[in-house]
Structure 1
Amino acid sequence: MKVAIAGAGAVGRSIARELLTNAHEVTLFERKADHIDPDSVPGASWILADACELSRLEEAQLQTFDVMIAATGDDKANLVVSLLAKTEFAVNRVVARVNDPRNEWLFGEDWGVDVAVSTPRLLASLVEEAVSVGDLVRLMTFRQGQANLVELTLPSNTPLAGKPVRRLELPHDVALVTILRGGRVIVPQSDDPIEGDDELIFIAPEEAEGALYEAMKIAR
């Protein structure tokens, strides 16, 4: 994929390195000349420009990119970048960093954001995930589809133990995407059995979360 990243601070550079490791084409937009450091992200392209300026995005031909990541430390800038990417250049996927959780409500479809990533919320979710057995923990919200990435850790004595994935009676529009078992990451196949202490990762609309509890035989 061809990915643009607005903001080449520590967060933007870290994202760029990860994407380059996975063989994506990455371009970093940075408005401060003293932050331009090609040696810090070998393989990335750099543009000295404010990604909030429409003319600079036009010069970079942003319409040819598959993804825009608004990763600056300023929520206002991230919203402007997201809106321009989606409305002016029809970028297929827009991911935005939320610095202040109080602003999270703004990072939605109206501002062109497909996925909003709030570091404080994500860290809190991971803390909950680490200590919660039998609770449904929301890890991330996908704004465009109004669906959530949710995690559920089964108790060791779950009545689902030994049941194959194909026999799980999941609610409509809910998908099991990953099973975490010990040190393994399992892409579930229809015949894979469920085991106690499994961590199950689902994509589910918010309105289906209650039914998901029931389907997994775990009381609220």
Structure 2
Amino acid sequence: MKVAIAGAGAVGRSIARELLANSHEVTLLERKRAHIDEDAVVGATWLFADACELDNLEQAALETYDVMVAATGDDKANLVVSLLAKTEFAVNRVVARVNDPRNEWLFDEDWGVDVAVSTPRILASLVEEAVSVGDLVRLMTFRQGQANLVEMTLPDNTPLAGKPVRKLLLPRDAALVAILRGGRVIVPQSDDPVEGGDELVFIAPVEVEEALRTAIIEP
């Protein structure tokens, strides 16, 4: 996969390293020359360029990339990068960093964003996930499809204990994608049973979240 990352600060570099470790092709676009350090992310292509400028994106041949990551520390810049990537270069997937949670409502398909990642929201969700049993916790929003990644921890005395995945009466359009049990990550198969204390991870649209919670807590 070919990935362009706008912003080579700590966040952009960390993303680049992870992608390179998984054998993806990465290009970092950075407008501050002092931030360009090829030794910091070995294997990436570095471009001294402002990703908010259309000419620079054309020179980078952004239309040949599969993913654009807008990872600067400026929400305005990330929105501009996302919009240009989607509308001018038809990049298939655009992921944008949200620095200020108050701006999160802007990061949607109107600005070319497929997935908005808000670090404060993710941290808050993880705190909730750590202490919440029987509540549906939203971990991430996938803007383009209006679906959410949500998690629910089953009570120890759940009536679902021992029931196979195929017998869970989930609402339409909700999908169980993982079961976290102790130190294990289980990709659920139809015959796998659920147990008290399991963390169930779903993808579900907003409108069925309440029905999903009811189906799991009050089967």
Give TM-score scaled by structure 1 length: 0.98
Q: SS in structure 1 opposite 2:39?
A: helix
Q: SS in structure 2 opposite 1:216?
A: helix
Which residue number in structure 1 is paired with residue 37 of structure 2?
37
Structure 1 residues 33-58: Cα deviation after superposition (integer angstroms, max 9, x where no partner): 11100111111110110000001100
Note if 1:189 corresponds to 2:185.
no
CA shift, 1:120, in A, is: 0.6
CA shift, 1:197, in A, is: 0.2
Q: Does the 8 Å contact 1:4/1:26 carry over to 2?
A: yes
Distance 1:88 1:207 in 2: 32
Distance 1:43 1:154 in 2: 43
Alignment of 1:34-73 (within 5 A): 34-73=34-73
Gaps of 5+ in 1: none
Gaps of 5+ in 2: none
Distance 1:209 1:23 in 2: 36
Distance 1:217 1:97 in 2: 34
CA shift, 1:139, in A, is: 0.4
Which residue number in structure 2 is paired with residue 86 of structure 1?
86
Distance 1:50 1:218 in 2: 53
Displaced runs of 4 or more, over 6 A: none
CA RMSD between the two structures: 0.9
Distance 1:151 1:15 in 2: 24
CA shift, 1:217, in A, is: 2.7
Identity, % of aligned positions: 82
Which residue number in structure 1 is paired with residue 112 of structure 2?
112
Distance 2:134 2:217 in 1: 9
Which residue number in structure 1 is paired with residue 170 of structure 2?
170
Distance 1:217 1:139 in 2: 19
What amino acid maps onto 1:210 in structure 2?
A: E
Distance 1:8 1:61 in 2: 18
Q: Does the 8 Å contact 1:2/1:65 carry over to 2?
A: yes
Alignment of 1:99-138 (within 5 A): 99-138=99-138
Give TM-score scaled by structure 2 length: 0.99
What amino acid maps onto 1:81 in structure 2?
A: V
Q: SS in structure 1 opposite 2:217?
A: coil
What amino acid maps onto 1:150 in structure 2?
A: V
Distance 1:29 1:218 in 2: 50
Structure 1 residues 111-152: Cα deviation after superposition (integer angstroms, max 9, x where no partner): 000000111111000000000000000000000000000000
**How many pairs are equivalent?**
219
Which residue number in structure 2 is paired with residue 25 of structure 1?
25
CA shift, 1:213, in A, is: 1.2
CA shift, 1:72, in A, is: 0.1
Note if 1:179 corresponds to 2:186.
no
CA shift, 1:218, in A, is: 4.1
Which residue number in structure 2 is paired with residue 144 of structure 1?
144
Distance 2:218 2:99 in 1: 34
